[in-house]
Structure 1
Amino acid sequence: MLGWFSDVRRQRRVAARAGAFLLAAGLPVALPAAGATVSRPEDMTVSGKLIATGGVTQVEGAAGGGLTPWAVIGGGGTREEMGATAFFTAVRTHDYGMNAYGALIGLWDRVELSVAQDRFDTQAIGGALGLGDGYAFTNTIAGVKVRVAGDAVYAQDSWLPQLALGAQYKSNDRGSLVKALGARSGDGVDLYASATKVLLAQSLLLSGTVRLTKANQTGLLGFGGADDDYHAELEGSAALLLDRNLVAGVEYRMKPNTLARANPGLAPEDDWYDAFIAWLPGKNLAFTLAYVNLGRVVTPTRQNAVYLSLQAGF
């Protein structure tokens, strides 16, 4: 009898860890009854209604961390349902500001469709560059992601991560200006492959992405420069579950440096990295606060930013 109670407690601890990570990843959560095992996503309903959803959205609209996509499919839908999320993110540095907002829909835990818009405000730097104070660049992004193999959470008996392929079409509203700065185009497509694994026993999420891109500053300054080739860049995330409602982690995103090589008057483009904490107060909400280092953006001054994001979903 004591062994049975021990097994039940262990199963509930595993389910609790899974639930919090699923909230962070935008997946459904259910706490199993006594003696039950952790259910797979398609089984996780009560009276046909999802128990909980939530998550974090990357600045370009894909489900994942703030800077990098994960292999998970956003929204709260199971493999027999659909789910959706909407987000708003504000990033502020000493010299610049950026607002990002958008929405995504997840279809049957297989396909994710997203749309987002990033507005980059040059503030006083725009005036110093002759563009005018508050001159802004807007990047509109349409994305698709497809899960191709694995299960990030429920395949705990396998080291195979969840794998997904994605694409993001980006269009800059200042095409003529970014070309004058040295970019080849105001439009471009990023292609990426992501692998994500949750280690429940360690309360740890690990994710990695390889991105093929021509984008300058994620597309805010156009695409291409000294060359018009795709560059393979690495991105990664690690997140630790602190309790059922709190997740902390770090991210790193490598970026190409083609625009500064085409225009030596611009500062080189640096990699981005952050440290974040996400609070999940309920099944439909997630708040993320982060410190982000954006490196040099046009000028030689390194940009350290505060990042705040709100997401709601079902």
Structure 2
Amino acid sequence: MRAARGAFALLACLLLPALARAGDGRLLATGGASMVEGSAGGGLVPWAVLSGYATREQVGATAFVTRLDLPDYRLDAHGAAFTWHNRLELSVARDRFDLGTLGEAIGMPGAALRQDVFGAKLRLTGDAVYGPLPQISLGVQHKHNLDFAIPKLVGARRDRGTDVYLSATQVLLAGAAGYNLLWNVTLRSTDANQLGLLGFGGDRGGRRLVGEGSLALLLDPHVAVGAEYRQKPDQLSFARENNASDLFVAWFPSKHVSLVAAYVSLGEIAGLRDQRGWYLSLQGSL
């Protein structure tokens, strides 16, 4: 908890000089939203774009809050990100997964699993909008599980781990019947169970390479609809870990605020099947 507070305080100090300089130069919606782990992207998948709208001469910042309600669980996330000259993104997020039905079944009503996520993303080459090639970025997400007793009991090996990913994103202007079309592909190396909320590593293996993808159609400059898919490593034999997917609608009334609503399918979680529900995320940008 102290580490998370310290990171947020440091990030706030970094953001103070940015208040008058955050960018107007990038197209609306091209900064994406904030995923549950804090990086710029969709709700489930990081994209190669960096958070906010800062150009190469500017710095920018975002903050977000997210809730996902499932039949037997609830996920709450919040965090912030800082972008330097459209080259480097630094982010921090706190995820809290309320165990709901499972907590009551194991005699721990109100129990939750929490983790802190510290991220960095470097734009390597390209531009998501301008130019013939996609934007390509390399990212890391270091995760620390704060409630490891339950993950350890079900077979997780460690309370922390680091995901490394490579993303490619491109916006095809008028690419689909006159509408702008965004595509993203992410390749991730991870040993996280249920994004890290159930610890890292397991009795069925360790680090694995998984694929993720997003597709979004920009109906007008303010509204986008799309879908995402995210593979997960499935390393704990006590319960199957399914891949995740969503269908989303994103609204960008201005460059300072965005709202994303989605219908999310996470499959089976800790033996409880058919975990599908509604996701809502609000982001503010400077």
TM-score scaled by length of structure 2: 0.87
- Cα shift at 1:176: 3.1
Match of 1:120 among 92, 97, 118: 97
SS in 2 for 1:179: helix
1:299 Cα deviation (Å)?
1.8
Structure-2 separation of matches of 1:178 and 1:212: 20
CA distance 1:28–1:206, change in 2 (3 Å): farther
Per the alignment, residue 285 of structure 1 pairs with 257
What are structure 1's unaligned runs of at least 5 residues?
1-26, 31-40, 45-50
Q: Partner amino acid for 1:289?
A: A
Q: Does 1:310 align with 2:286?
A: no
Matched, 1:276 2:248: yes
1:18 corresponds in structure 2 to: none
Aligned with residue 166 of structure 2, among 180, 186, 193: 193
SS in 1 for 2:149: helix
Within a 5 Å distance, the mapping from 1:205-216 to structure 2 comes to 205-216=182-193
Work out the CA distance in 1 between the residues paired with 2:205 and 2:125: 32
Alignment check: 8 A CA contact 1:138 1:220 kept: yes
Match of 1:174 in 2: 147
- Structure 2 SS opposite 1:295: coil
Contact 1:285 1:310 in 2 (8 A): yes
State which drifts further: 85-94 or 177-186: 177-186
Question: 1:139 is matched with which residue?
Answer: 115
CA distance in 2, matches of 1:126, 1:28: 45
Query: CA deviation digits over 1:177-210, x for unaligned, max 9?
Result: 3112100001010000000011012110000000
**Residue 124 of structure 1: CA displacement?**
2.9
Counterparts of 1:249 and 1:52 in 2: how far apart (Å)?
Answer: 13
User: Structure 1 vs Structure 2: percent identity of aligned residues?
Assistant: 48
In the alignment, the residues of structure 1 paired with residue 278 and residue 128 of structure 2 have an alpha-carbon distance, to the nearest angstrom, of 29
Q: Any stretches of 5+ residues in structure 2 without a counterpart?
A: 1-21
C-alpha displacement of 1:29? 4.8
Deviations 1:25-74 (A, max 9, x none): xx9555xxxxxxxxxx6xx9xxxxxx999641011000011100000111
**What stretches of structure 1 move > 6 A for 4+ residues in a row?**
51-54
8 Å contact 1:209–1:236 — kept in the other structure?
yes
Other-structure match for 2:126: 150
Matching residue within 62, 71, 92 for 1:94: 71
- Contact 2:31–2:50 (CA<8 Å) still a contact in 1? no
The count of residues paired between Structure 1 and Structure 2 equals 261
* CA apart distance, 1:85: 0.2
> Aligned match of 2:267 in 273, 295, 302?
295
CA distance in 2, matches of 1:228, 1:94: 29
The 2-side partners of 1:52 and 1:206 are apart by: 13
What is the root-mean-square deviation in Å for CA atoms of aligned residues? 1.8
SS of match in other structure, 2:200: coil
Q: CA deviation at 1:123?
A: 1.5
Q: Normalised by the size of structure 1, how large is the TM-score?
A: 0.80
Structure whose residues are more often helix by fraction: 1
Partner of 2:202: 225
> Are 1:204 and 1:239, in contact at CA under 8 Å, matched by a contact in 2?
yes
Aligned-residue offset at 1:233: 0.4
1:17 is matched with which residue? none
Deviation at 1:129, TM superposition (A): 2.2
